[in-house]
Structure 1
Amino acid sequence: MTDDLRQRIADRLRGWLRPSDLDAAVHAVNALFRRETAKLRTEAGNAARSRDHWHRRGLEAIRARKEAEAALDRVRALHQHNETADYCDLCSNHGDIGWPCATIRALAAAAPTPVAEPAPCAECGHPKEQHSEADELVSVGQCQQCVADGNEGDAWHDYEPQEQQ
């Protein structure tokens, strides 16, 4: 603790304490500051270590995904479609005749299927997530985007998806 801070603490305590108790009070406050500062430093250090840990884990996951995608690309490159004879050049050497070969079929089956976006609302054209459900079965919900756009009166309607063409 700096002398300036010690003096300011003493000045604040002067009206409450006898002069003989003033030095002891300043030392007590100083000890409290040291304990609290040490706790804050420990908590800050723990938070920084946790942040660094999860940052490293995220980078490791990204790196692992890129490595896996590269490995899949290398496997696909080995299994080429011979269009004149309609078979896999690599697998035909091992008796697997036909295209797609078992490896390409397995890779295609393991590929994630894309999730279709819900259709926009037929009444207002806004996405489904902008619509809140009604509080009661007999009332209608509200479109938050219509409210934000200033169409408060038209905002009260349930989400009805547009028909896909």
Structure 2
Amino acid sequence: MPPSNILISACLYGLPVRYNGSEKARLQHTLRTWRDQQRLVVFCPELAAGFDTPRPPAEIQPQHGRYSVLAAGARVQEQSGADVTERYLLGAWLALEMAQANQCRFALLTDGSPSCGSQRIYDGGFRGQTLPGVGVTTELLRRHGIEVFSDRQLPALMARVVAVDRTGG
């Protein structure tokens, strides 16, 4: 069985694609082996959906107290008030398509993002406050069986990849 591929947020890979034009390359040393093995599939759902860099900050707005865009109909809104939910959904579907086309069993995504958050997201008030929750892309990938890890969970991802590679499942 071929080794498990990993969908990775472009900003974690070191590309300056975050909403403010920055990157989060602090994982570069750790990811080098997977990169050398050609297991990393670099993707940014927001760029794929047509957003520019830089772009206005966006946060998930709860619906009936729930922050799930897919399950509860929450919306993604820019700080200006513009509703960008449909573009975030498009980015999520494009990420899923990319992951499936490249046999990605795992994803390593940037926590806090309305697309990629897997443990925490911002609370929708644009005050810098976070709460437990997941972004649109994470929610969709998990629904389709892809294990999503945040940039804070790299040791757990490494352990899962080794286990799956060893056992094939």
Q: TM range, normalised to the smaller chain?
A: under 0.3
Bigger relative contact order, structure 1 or 2, given CA contacts below 8 A and separation 6+?
2
TM-score (norm 2): 0.18
TM-score (norm 1): 0.19
Q: Which has the larger radius of gyration?
A: 1
Structure with the higher fraction of residues in strand conformation: 2
